[in-house]
Structure 1
Amino acid sequence: MLIGLDIGTSSVKGQMTAPGGECLSTYSAPCLTTHPAGGGAEQDPADWMRHVEAALARFAAHPRAAQVAAIGVTSQVNTHVFCDANARPLRPAITWQDTRAAVQAARLDAALTPQAKIAALGAPIPIDASHALSRMAWVAQLEPDLWQATAHVLLPKDHVIAGLTGEIASDPISAVGLVGTDLTYAGAILDLWPGASAVLPPLADPLDIVGRVTAGHPFAGTPVALGTMDAWAGMFGLGVAADRQAFYLSGTSDVLGLISSRGTGAAGIVTFPEWRGLRLHAGPTQSGGASLDWLSQVVGQEIDALARLAGDIADRGPLFLPHLQGERAPLWDSRSRGAFCGMTGATGPDDLVVAVMEGVAFSGRMALEAVETSGAQTVQRLRYGGGGARSDAWSRIRATALGRSLDRVASSDVGAVGATVMAGAASGAMGNLSDATAALVSLDRSFDPDPKEAPQIEERYAAFCELYRALGKVNDLINPVSDDG
């Protein structure tokens, strides 16, 4: 038996799986995100541990619990926990959605030319408001006493693993924008912020057994695989583990990715160092399911109810720019803001739902096109899954907006599946990654683009791109540059 845990943005999920892929037990519980003024987005690390303990306690009650061979963990990344020497959090975790370090990020990013970034990281990966160094600089400026007390800056999965095993470690894939092609910390990057190298955890391979669950927790003595970030785990949970395969991972944010050994990277795309023959080019957007969640709160309807309102994209329907907290790939513009455009007195909730779904899909298309440039190849089919993929209406809209076919996987908890895949490969219980993905991932159905809608979609996508450019002056007015942190 294997256990996979996913410390996500909206929830903590887990599953216990049999060798043939049968899911024996699951766990899911929501995580609260608070939003301090100025673009903040924080979570309480104690919530993650509470849910992890509850998940493991549930799995420990299963009749086959004694057969569990390993536990795998994945999580959101570019979410940072500032901890003391005993790995206890000193403040709430600063999540990847938090844009308060934009000023510090701009200074750090300007210190390196694109050529210097390529030399250090293998690709021109930007230093944005979610970068670890930006967060360190922001905390040091606004909370200097806390920065002085900081001994470790950990990702959520690494904080959870430390709580379960007592071991402090991270992996080079999750250390986005910090690691070179040799899978070690890039000195030219860490040198940008004094003290960075002292607080970042040592690196190990994602498929290493980093420790064993200590006494006092369910499954004491069970090996724990180090694992890696949610985009990679989700990729494995979608069944993608070979060159020239692409994926669309739909969650709180969307991630478009392509494994390609051909490309050398492109501006705005995160190109990871090659690991076990896999070189991933990824475009993480800022808002996917989060946009529909926002709309559900505004109109006072549950997300599932909203999704049922969605129909086809209207030729004259409103456009939506889903930059509610800026945008990541490929724009990396933390100051951009969301907008509806083209509404009339007849615009209703169903029109807004379709506009939000289409706008998120167009952000995904913008990221995918940049990913294809980065990977030097185009794709016609993508593996597809995640919580936002459960809606058939949204899936049809995405396929048509992208002009690509989407093959949806059966499980919506692809992060937990991917963590299970890594636990199986790390423990030797399921061979290598390809064997594990083949055993644990199955397809649900496919969605193909509607060729009749192509001309209309092209016009609307061009207008979507123009809407972003046109709103620059509006963003300058309502979101002026500040130097106060």
Structure 2
Amino acid sequence: MNDLWAGVDVGTQSLRVLLAEADGTVVARAGVPLTSHRHGERHEQDPAPWWAALGDAFRAALHGVDPARVGGLSICATSGTFLVADASGRPHTTALMYDDARATAEPGAQRTWALPKLRWLLEHGPAGVRTGLADGSLALRHCGDHLAERLTGGPVATDWTSALKTGYDLGWHATGIPPTALPAVVRPGTTIGTVGPAGAAHTGLPVGVPVRAGLTDGCAAQVAAGALAPGSWNSVLGTTLVLKGVTTDRLADPSGAVYSHRHPDGGWLPGGASNVGSPVVDDFFPGADREALDRAAAAHEPASAVVYPLRGTGERFPFVRPEATTFTLGAATGADLYAALLQGVAYVERLSYAHLRRLGADTTGPLSLTGGATRSRYWSQLRADVLGRPVTLPATAEPALGMAVVAAAGDGSLTETAARMVRVADTLEPRAGDRFAEPFARLVDALADRGYVDADLAAYAKEPS
């Protein structure tokens, strides 16, 4: 009886496998660490450990579970991460990660998207890669597609969310990339193959398990949060801050900060990814007792300083500024500085929602929080306070659960399947008063003074929502 659904999430730091029943009950999960390498603006990962980790994680998750119960699987990965491989699936490049910034920006795409980086390989890659992409012997494989290809033993189509940053929404014909270097594209949930003998031997899954087209990790987290109805939004705060929501009409953003995936059930999944994220706290407080700092931070609302907590150089949402850098207004130390960092991320989140509303997005539906930062209940409550909105915390806030939902839905309704499988653990109400309005306004004005946001957005963001 095929009553278990498997979701795979390939992140920067680990690969995770989750097995869930039809009602969303998690039966097993397992994770295996991954490493990547940064060289200036370049960020790369060896794809061989992906495959090794997939086998180890599946075997760990299936320990004590009858593999015959698995009815299907789906894979998500970081949006825009890809490699170049031959027809047998053998990689001819390392994986260029989602935030690799070696390429230059171009119309309709940010410099970290897959399309500019694929162009870069066509122009500046090793001679064999340039020739192979041009003559059709080599082609792009998104991370999840590469693993699906190895599982099934043959070429697979990609899904339309993973293909967006490769230029699919522009039209493959308009990308200037040789058509043979680009994959076929299907709706998420479409069966793209079945586990073959080599994939079965590697993972412990039975031969013949359906492999279904996946999603990007941001969309997968959105599914895990159940944010699939118009007006609902999900904030993922981990390595980066990612906002994903649902609109009936596609949002047009001349700045390029917001992009929209097609909703598998109709409509659109707009969103954006900021370069601020929870690791900024570790940068300032490595190895600290975070629970103790959370308790101490409550005495600093608002903090003495206002921090724009950007990691590195460059921002992509809620504004696109490659030259943007972190800055601090005022001075703070100890718990006061810790509070300023948490508040700074929350201010960027508030500004992001203002940018979305200004574009015409409906943000009046439920707001959910997922990502590693939700381990801090204090930070989640703080974000509700800064946003001035109730926020829900899903019971299983993992992209891997989102992929189990996709595997279970298949060609059917993703929204209805998520409604059966996604559970809410808690709802946090904002505390009374907008004590963060003044420091938020200071940050917005400072961003405007630096030319990072325009005056109209700055004024709009400071108005009561």
Do both share a fold (TM > 0.5)?
yes
Name 1:223's counterpart in structure 2: 210
Q: Equivalent residue for 2:400? A: 416
Per-residue CA shift, 1:410-457, capped at 9, x if unaligned? 1132x011100000011x7xx6323321222111112222232x1x41
Task: Specify the SS of the correspondent of 1:233.
Answer: helix
* Aligned residue type for 1:446: T
Counterpart among 147, 150, 156 of residue 130 in structure 2: 147
- The answer to whether the aligner puts 1:33 opposite 2:36 as a matched pair is yes
**1:241-320 aligned within 5 A:** 241-262=228-249, 264-267=251-254, 268-296=257-285, 299-301=286-288, 310-311=297-298, 313-320=300-307
Taking the aligned partners of 1:28 and 1:304, their CA distance within structure 2 comes to 25
2:144, 2:297 → 1: CA distance? 35
| Identity between Structure 1 and Structure 2 (%) | 26
The offset of 1:274, in angstroms, is 5.0
After the TM superposition, which residues 45-124 of structure 1 pair with which residues of structure 2 at under 5 Å, given as runs? 45-101=47-103, 104-105=104-105, 108-109=106-107
Equivalent of 1:167 in 137, 146, 155: 155
Secondary structure, in 3 states, of the residue corresponding to 1:3? strand
Match for 1:360: what amino acid? Answer: V
Give the SS at the match of 2:368.
Answer: strand
What pairs up with 1:320-469 in 2 under 5 angstroms?
320-325=307-312, 326-344=314-332, 347-348=333-334, 350-379=335-364, 381-413=366-398, 415-426=399-410, 432-452=413-433, 454=434, 456-469=435-448
Counterparts of 2:122 and 2:65, CA distance in 1: 50
Aligned counterpart in structure 2 of residue 20 of structure 1, from 19, 23, 34 = 23
Amino acid corresponding to residue 65 of structure 2 in structure 1: P
Assess if the C-alpha contact under 8 Å between 2:353 and 2:363 holds in 1. Answer: no
2:392–2:427 contact (8 Å) kept in structure 1? yes
In 2, distance between residues paired with 1:301 and 1:366? Answer: 29
1:240 partner SS: coil
Take 1:307 and 1:90, find their aligned partners in 2: how far apart are those partners?
46
Change (3 A) 1:147 1:290: farther
> Post-superposition shift, 1:313?
4.5
C-alpha contact (below 8 Å) 1:263/1:373 kept by paired residues: no
3-state SS of the aligned residue for 1:256?
strand
Q: 1:382 to 1:313 in 2, by over 3 A?
A: farther
Give the letter aligned to residue 16 of structure 1: L
Point out where structure 2 has 5 or more consecutive residues left out of the alignment. 453-465
Q: 1:335 and 1:68 mapped to 2: Cα distance?
A: 48
Structure 1 counterpart SS, 2:437: helix
* Pairing 1:200-219 to 2, within 5 Å after superposition: 200-215=182-197, 216-217=201-202, 218-219=204-205
Cα–Cα, structure 1 residues 467 and 82, in superposed 2: closer, same or farther, change >3 Å?
Answer: farther
2-11 vs 323-332, greater mean Cα deviation: 323-332
Deviation per residue, 1:139-177 (Å, 9 max, x gap): 344434233344122221111111211323211122224
Aligned length: 434
The DSSP-based 3-state class of the residue aligned with 1:282 is strand
Q: Conserved in 2, the CA contact under 8 Å of 1:152 and 1:199?
A: yes
Q: Deviations over 1:9-64 (max 9, x none)?
A: 23211111122322111112332232112x22222222222221111112333233
Looking at structure 1, the residues matched to 13 and 48 of structure 2 have their Cα atoms a distance apart, in angstroms, of 15
Post-superposition offset of 1:235: 1.1
3-state secondary structure, aligned to 1:323: coil
| Displacement after TM superposition at 1:339 (Å) | 2.8
Give the partner amino acid of 1:226. A
CA distance in 2, matches of 1:386, 1:343: 29
- Specify every segment of 5 or more residues in structure 1 that has no aligned partner in the other structure, as ranges: 110-125, 474-485
Change (3 A) 1:22 1:317: same
C-alpha displacement of 1:380? 5.8
Could you give the per-residue CA deviations for residues 193-223 of structure 1, whole angstroms, max 9, x where no partner exists? x43x331211112111111111133213211
CA contact (8 A) 1:410 1:441 kept: yes
Counterpart-to-counterpart distance in 2, 1:225 and 1:79:
19
Partner in structure 1 of residue 455 of structure 2: none
1:461/1:407 CA distance change after superposition, 3 Å: same
Structure 1 residue 186: deviation in Å?
Answer: 4.4
Distance 1:176 1:352 in 2: 38
Superposition RMSD on alpha carbons, in Å?
2.5
